[in-house]
Amino acid sequence: PLPGPPLGPLPGQSRLWGAWAGSAGPAGRGMQRFTALISSYGRQRQWPRALGLLDQLQQRGPAPSVITYGAAIGACAQSGQWAAAVALLAELPAAQVQPDAAAYRAAISACARGQRTVWALRLLAALRRTGLRPGAAAFNATISALEPGAGSGTALALLAQMRAAAAEPDTATCGAVLRACGAGRWACALRAFVEMRGAAVRPDAAACGTAVDILSRARQWQRALSLFFELRLARVAHSSGGHAAAISAGSQGARWEAALQLFLGACRYGLEPDAVGCSAALSACARQSRWQEAVMLLHEARRGRMQANAVCFNAAIGACQGDGRWELALELLRDLRAAGLAHDVVGCSAAMAACVQGGHWEAALELLRRMPELRVAPNAICRNAGVAACKQGSHWEGALCLLRGRPPETVGWTAAIAACGRAAQWARALGLFAGLLPGGPPPPGVARGGGAGASARGPDAVACSAALAACKEGQQWEQALALWAEARHVGVAAGTAAYTAAIDACGAGDHWQGAVALLREMVSERLEVDRVAYNATIHACAKC
């Protein structure tokens, strides 16, 4: 429905009414001025004033023309008032005004802004039934009304209708079709993009960036990079969004060199990369542990106009993790705070992992201790990194302390089992392993927390190997075989590493028969028997 009572004349409007209305008639200068004023209200998003002025024209004259009605519908469209726009269009026949294509296009645009797909399609069909030429703008607006990523079929059908109606697709058509297809129908999007380029449509930088982004989000990184460089060779204008999408594609394919060059290339083209593109390039470097390149890239980003966010810093810290550059990781963590950004669990856990990888488990535990001071609440990932640090330092008491009150879950408890094994606490290691079993009792000093944990799936082969290694350290071959039998009973998919750990445990306890039996079992299950397993069996037999 249309809005309520008209607003009345604006200050100074009453003086001009008589002068403007003096040249009444659809083609008169007065009507042109009224139409221009309504259009001005539309540009200022003052659609109630535009409709108020139209209402006064209907009451006081001169009678509004179809162009004036179109301006009022356009004012509603610019404010996203699709219902008012459709209602105005429906009033035209009663006012003895024949709607033209421009009025229909304005109403369709209003529906597109309001994401009213059904109404946009109905209005386009009504426009075509009148015999008027819809033009590319009407089709483009209708395609824009489709739900992004879910309207590929309708978009391609409208594209075919557009060609049949002799309305040539343009740059706006290209962008609208791509958005309607989305990453879910990337093949349709790519086919339509290639067809429109072949039909002499010159997509702009935004449309090209959308095409590359669709392929990147669809995990089609090879096609995304290929299209980006093809457009680059064709001297198509670049956009920061297109560069960010190409950088993200390089990150997916572990092409850190391509991601880095694309980031630096965007700077050379005068396109300041955004934080999304920067974090994608940094993530590509982090996946390959290219910490020098990641730190250099972060420095370049901070030196430019781009404001690096916490995601960028966290990615650079993650790049330091692989090579154990713990000092640099902690320095980046300090730089993050100096840049006015807040710490989060992602950056803190990555820095802790870098400390563990670098052999400085005490620094990892110190960072975990200071996290409340940094206003960061440690999550399961941080606590698991702390348990891994305790494992590295054979600090089994600290590992059990970090597990206290937590439900059983494989990653943290496996690291705690290994910590106990290294400290010759084989009984505690077996207690932790038993706690991972479905319905198993909580080990001493570790209360089972509430909620569903990973224990519902039972222990995995890594946890089994860690517990068997603890039995080896304590020369407890009987316990090792009992644990092995229990693990197989609950369905642990034991591999070569777990079998080798069990053979080692038998060898440490001078039980060569058990070692040989396990080796035969490996062969019967067609597992790869490597040199380590053979050597462990030979060593067990040699001790007897």
> Each residue of 504-525: pLDDT tens digit?
888 888 888 988 998 998 888 8
Number of domains in the chain: 2
Q: Mark whether 470 and 369 lie in a shared domain.
A: no
Query: Could you tell me what percentage of the chain is helix, strand and coil, using 3-state DSSP and rounding each to the nearest 5?
Result: 70, 0, 30
pLDDT for the residue numbered 292: 85
370 and 301 part of one domain = yes
Q: Are residues 432 and 508 in the same domain?
A: yes
Position 470 in a domain = yes
Classify residue 363: in a domain, yes or no: yes
Whether 325 maps to a domain, the answer reads yes
Our measurement of the distance from residue 447's CA atom to the centroid of its chain's CA atoms, rounded to an integer in Å, reads 37
pLDDT of residue 364: 92
- Supply φ then ψ for residue 3, to 5 degrees: -65, 170
Please report the pLDDT score of residue 439 as a whole number: 67
Give the mean pLDDT of 175-190: 82
In a domain, 343, yes or no: yes
Predicted confidence at residue 369, as pLDDT, reads: 92
Same domain, 338 and 433: no
Alpha-carbon dihedral sign for residues 276, 277, 280, 282: negative
Same domain, 430 and 347: no
313-353 pLDDT, tens per residue? 988 898 888 888 999 999 999 999 888 889 999 999 999 99
Cα–Cα distance for residue pair 189/179, rounded to 1 Å? 8
Is 337 inside any structural domain?
A: yes
Looking at every residue in the chain, the average pLDDT score rounds to: 80
Taking CA atoms, 339 is separated from 281, 354, 376, in Å, by: 20, 21, 17
User: Which pLDDT does position 307 carry in this prediction?
Assistant: 67
Cβ atoms 21, 62 nearer than 8 A: yes
Give the orientation angle of helix 82-91 with respect to helix 101-113, to 10 degrees: 160
Q: What is the pLDDT of residues 103-120, one digit of tens each?
A: 998 999 999 888 888 998
Say what percent of the chain tops pLDDT 70.
81
Same domain, 420 and 370: no
Mean pLDDT is highest, among 189-198, 240-249, 313-322, for 313-322
**414 and 496, same domain (yes or no):** yes
Say if residue 384 is in the same domain as residue 417: no
Q: What CA–CA distance (Å, rounded) separates 396 from 407?
A: 18
Least confident of 52-61, 190-199, 263-272, 506-515: 263-272
CB 371 within 8 A of CB 333: no
pTM of the model: 0.60
Please check whether residues 524 and 420 belong to one and the same domain: yes
Distances (CA, A) of 341 to 296, 302, 310, 311, 382: 20, 13, 6, 10, 20
The per-residue b/e assignment along 240-278, b for 16 or more CB within 10 angstroms, e otherwise, is bbbbbbbbbbbbbbebbebbbebbebbbeeebebbbbbb
For residue 479, what are the domain limits? 409-440+460-543
Tens of pLDDT, residues 79-106: 888 898 889 888 888 888 888 889 998 9
Question: What is the torsional sign of CA 301, 307, 312, 317?
Answer: positive
Asked if residue 203 belongs to a domain, the reply is no
Can you say whether the dihedral through the CA atoms of 139, 141, 143, 146 is positive or negative? negative
Distance separating alpha carbons of residues 121 and 105, to the nearest angstrom: 11
Same domain, 434 and 522: yes
